[in-house]
Amino acid sequence: MVYQGKWHGDERYFGLHYDLHAGAGDTDLGTRCSETELVPMLALMAPDFVQTDCKGHPGYTSWFSQVADASVPAGLKQDALMQWRQATRKLDLPLHCHYSGVWDKAAGAKHPEWCVVTADGQVAGAPLGQNAGAPTGEKMCPRSPYLDELMIPQLLELIDRYEVDGFWIDGDLWSVEPCYCAKCRAAWTAQTGLAAPPAKEDDPAWPRWWNFTRESFYAAVTRYCEAVHRHKPGVLVCSNWLQTFKNPGAPIVPTDWISGDNAWVWGLDGSRCEARFLSTRGKPWDIMLWNFYCSHGMGRPDSPWTVKPPQMLMQEAAALLAFGGNVQVYEHPNVRDGRLIPWRQRRMAEVAAFVKARRAVCQHTETMAQIAVLHSECHLYSDVRGKNLMWNVDAAPVQGAVFALLENSYGVDILDEWALLPRLPEFPVVVVPEQARMSEEMVTALRAYVEGGGNLLLTGSDLFDRFDEAFLGFRSGEVQAEKTYALPAADGEVQLYSKAWRLGEATTAEACGRLGNGCLLEDRLLPHPAAVVNCVGKGRVAYVPADLFRDFALNRYPLSRCFVGALVGRLLPDPDLRVHAPACIDVTLRRRGDTVFVHLLNRASGIPNLPNNGAIDEIPPVGSITVRIRLPVKPCQVSWALERGAVDWQWADDILLARIPAVHIHGVLVVQQGAPNTDY
Ligand SMILES: [Zn+2]
């Protein structure tokens, strides 16, 4: 049984995260966060929960830790944590600590024997920044005494001394790399019977070694979660990015909630996927949005940090809120004394108001299943390269499928095998984007799903081998490497590059257009179908023998979107709910009881996004949008919530037709049946 987590309650919805990664030279830290300074700044922004600095990647504490191996800055004058506790207590807010887990440079300097050892016998450096890959000794081995002698004693010290309410453990998943220390080697040999772990990423045993590393990390997180829970039940623990989109599979590690700090720029796509995946984890979750960004790489002196326009944060928050998640905002105003800045707090207060206005509509809803995109943990983890447990996870085909389907105005959820297997029959359509290494159990379940009336879309040459000619209605011919062919789309054609193209012919399936050479339409067509749709049992299966969705993740060609839309239209010609909206509107379909919520998120930007301009601001309203829902009973109320404007609607012949003139950032069409609720 998987632990389902814990949270502070529904009203703890919008959080402030503050951290400054204290270092050896910090002296002013905590001198400007007295109760009289901090309380008005927090009140101005009005967060529902607060996370504050405690120990960052340099390993130094912003409190006077008395744990024997603690690193406290020599010139530290004030206990910042004590003051944040006083202020949050005054405002009756839960307080979490930001604590860097695996990445601790100061601990590595004191105890080189605690560090991760690389294949060439060096101590491992930082995961990013100047010391990335250098032998600086900053990452802690999960089997070292670090957990028992430093991390867990400090977490317990923080609970006892400050009565903190939770921990957001930073670094962690993305700071881990394989460790070749004597303890880890011995554990590997004991588990596998192999004399030594592989040293090179092209070794056939590498994926097993990578997964051994992942499981060693899970065991370490489990250990500190259990230590905290044992010491004081009700104190919550989160490990940054654990159990998020890049870490699928049964969420067995007993953290209390799921969270990750999203990319500071170009973050909307990340949130679009996280929301659709985290909402299937069965645990409380949030995503942390940075309050600031820069146009180029992190730390470039000619591209300094600047605050995000509030509309940028609102747009990204809405993508998360629509799926029932919480949101927190990361503030780090680049002064080391611990103060919060009034004008920045005022801007975040605008975001707070936007977020809180959405709680009644967004919380405690469930998906109205339309399209499930499979994000198979078996596929991902069976062929991993690289050392990093997060950055080396290749989910591009899943992202491409989600983005292409969203641009066609469908409701999309992302499920791993753990989440999808028990829920398959709920979804009218299931998409398997280029995941040929899914489990045999998943293949068997998908066959049964189609037989029983489901509609399945498979893409990628290799998936042919997981099913067969009879199921797909497609006879395989030559498989070509690294080819580009034209797909028929809308009024023209679009080029698709694929690492592998399976040329073939339809047998029992219907061919959906033919592949072409160049852009000459009828001229130079090949005899091979671009896609096929086969009827199997009570359902249908569509097959595209190339990397359709990896391409969409990379190129986002509008004509590729049209090709995908036409194919899904064949699988689901008459859906119970259909939205017609511009491609920049994301649709999210939710329900609570028999109330239907059709969320519309406008991804447009008023100032054009360019490679050197990641800001979203002055978002222009976009419309109009029509929503068609099959409803056997006339709804008692249809309303347009959270934004200005009114909805035109009519109901006849079991069909509700609603028209919304425009969406600014995020509005919700609320369709109520039975007794109306006037809260929306
Ligand atoms: Zn080790």
* Predicted local distance difference test score (pLDDT) of residue 84: 97
Q: In this predicted model, what pLDDT tens digit does every residue of 173-205 receive, in sequence order? A: 999 999 999 999 999 999 999 999 999 999 999
The rounded mean pLDDT for the chain is 96
* Whether residue 556 is found in the same domain as residue 590: no
Rounded CA-CA distance 503/529 in Å is 8
Q: Picking from 71-75, 107-111, 331-335, 366-370, which range would have the lowest pLDDT averaged per residue? A: 331-335
CA of 262 to the centre of ligand 1 (A): 29
User: How far, in Å, is the centroid of ligand 1 from the Cα of 111?
Assistant: 13
Q: How far apart are CA 444 and CA 433, in angstroms?
A: 17
Can you name the residues that pair with 622 across neighbouring β-strands? 663
What is the pLDDT at residue 366?
Answer: 98
Tell me if 678 is assigned to some domain: no
Which domain CATH number covers 668?
Answer: 2.60.40.1180
> From CA 516, how far away is CA 502, in angstroms rounded?
14
Residue 678 clears pLDDT 70, i.e. is over it? no
Same domain (yes/no): 371, 360: no
Q: Is the peptide bond before 382 cis (omega within 30 degrees of 0)?
A: no
Amino acid 267: pLDDT: 94
58 Cα to the center of ligand 1, angstroms? 20
Is residue 112 domain-shared with residue 225, that is, in the same domain? yes
Residue 68 within any structural domain of the chain? yes
The answer to whether residue 3 sits within a structural domain is no
Q: How far apart are CA 245 and CA 306, in angstroms?
A: 28
**Do 128 and 230 reside in the same domain of the chain?**
yes
Torsional sign, CA 235, 239, 240, 242: negative
Res. 671: pLDDT tops 70: yes
d(CA 216, CA 188): 10
Instruction: Using the mean position of ligand 1's atoms as its centre, give its distance from the Cα of residue 124 in Å.
Output: 11
- Does some domain include residue 134? yes
- Residue type present at position 326: N
Report the separation in Å between the CA atom of 393 and the middle of ligand 1, taken as the mean of its atom positions: 22
Dist. CA 116 → ligand 1 center (Å): 5
Taking alpha carbons only, the member of 447, 456, 466 closest to residue 531 is 456
Alpha-carbon distance of 130 to 116, in angstroms, equals 18
Rounded distance between C-alpha atoms, residue 457 and residue 429, angstroms:
8
Question: What per-residue confidence (pLDDT) applies to 501?
Answer: 97
Residue 490: name the closest of 556, 378, 384, 566 by CA. Answer: 566
CA of 141 to the centre of ligand 1 (A): 4
Q: How sure is the predictor about 51, in pLDDT bands with cuts at 50, 70 and 90?
A: very high
Residues 389-410, mean pLDDT to the nearest whole number: 97
Q: Residue 213 half-sphere exposure, CB side, CA atoms within 13 Å?
A: 32
Sheet hosting strand 585-592, strand order edge to edge: 366-367, 585-592, 595-602, 666-672, 637-641
How far, in Å, are 322, 344, 584, 653, 663 from residue 599 at the CA level?
A: 7, 29, 13, 24, 10
> Of 364, 396, 424, which marks where a domain is finished?
364
For residue 7, is it within any domain?
Answer: no
Cα(123) to centroid of ligand 1, in Å? 10
Q: Count of domains in the chain?
A: 3
If asked whether residues 131 and 188 sit together in one domain, one would say: yes
> How confident is residue 531, by pLDDT bands cut at 50, 70 and 90?
very high
Q: What pLDDT was estimated at residue 436?
A: 98
21-32 pLDDT tens trace: 999 999 999 999
Q: How far apart are CA 29 and CA 146, in angstroms?
A: 26
Give kind and range of the element (H or E) at residue 343: helix 342-356
Report d(CA 242, CA 258) in Å as an integer: 7
**Cα(299) to centroid of ligand 1, in Å?**
31
Do 231 and 290 lie in a common domain?
A: yes
Domain final residue, candidates 329, 364, 399: 364
- Residue 667, domain extent: 577-672
CATH number, residue 530: 3.40.50.880
How far does residue 131's CA lie from ligand 1's centre (Å)? Answer: 20
DSSP letters for 74-97: TT--S-HHHHHHHHHHHTT--EEE
Q: Which residues crowd ion ligand 1, with CB under 5 Å?
A: 141, 143, 179, 181, 184
Mean pLDDT calculated for residue range 321-342: 95
At 360, is the secondary structure helix, strand, or coil? Answer: helix
In this predicted structure, the answer to whether residue 521 has a pLDDT above a threshold of 80 is no
Query: Do 21 and 47 lie in a common domain?
Result: yes
pLDDT digits (tens, 9 = 90+) for 275-296: 999 999 999 999 999 999 999 8
Lookup result for tokens 């257009």? 513
Complete DSSP assignment for 394-462: --HHHHHHHHHHHHTT--EEEE-HHHHGGGGGG-SEEEEES-TT--HHHHHHHHHHHHTT-EEEEESTT
Question: What distance in angstroms lies between residue 178's CA and the mean position of ligand 1's atoms?
Answer: 8
Residue 245 lies in a domain: yes
CATH classification of the domain holding 91? 3.20.20.80
Cα–Cα distance measured from residue 549 to residue 487, given in angstroms and rounded to the nearest whole number: 13
Whether residues 259 and 196 fall in one domain: yes
Cβ neighbours of residue 53 under 8 Å, at least 6 residues apart? 18, 19, 20, 21, 22, 62, 80, 81, 98, 338
Query: Do 138 and 179 meet the contact criterion of CB atoms below 8 Å apart?
Result: no
Q: How far is the CA of 145 from the centre of ligand 1 (A)?
A: 10
In a domain, 530, yes or no: yes
Ligand 1 centroid to 72 CA: how many Å?
A: 26
pLDDT value for 523: 77
d(CA 563, CA 560): 5
Above 80 in pLDDT, residue 522?
A: no
* CB distance 616 to 624 below 8 Å: no
Residue 358 sits in the same domain as residue 374: no
Q: 546 CA distance to ligand 1 centroid (A)?
A: 41
Whether 149 and 173 map to the same domain: the answer is yes
In angstroms, what is the span from residue 377 Cα to ligand 1's centroid? 25
Residue count of the chain: 680
Same domain, 623 and 488: no
pLDDT digits (tens, 9 = 90+) for 448-500: 999 999 999 999 999 999 999 999 999 999 999 999 999 999 999 999 999 99
Q: Do residues 581 and 553 both lie within one domain? A: no
Q: How far is the CA of 212 from the centre of ligand 1 (A)?
A: 11
Confirm whether 172 is domain-assigned: yes
Which of 335, 364, 393 is the endpoint of a domain?
364
Using CA atoms, how far apart are residues 299 and 258, in angstroms rounded to an integer? Answer: 27
- Give the whole-number percent of the chain exceeding pLDDT 90: 94
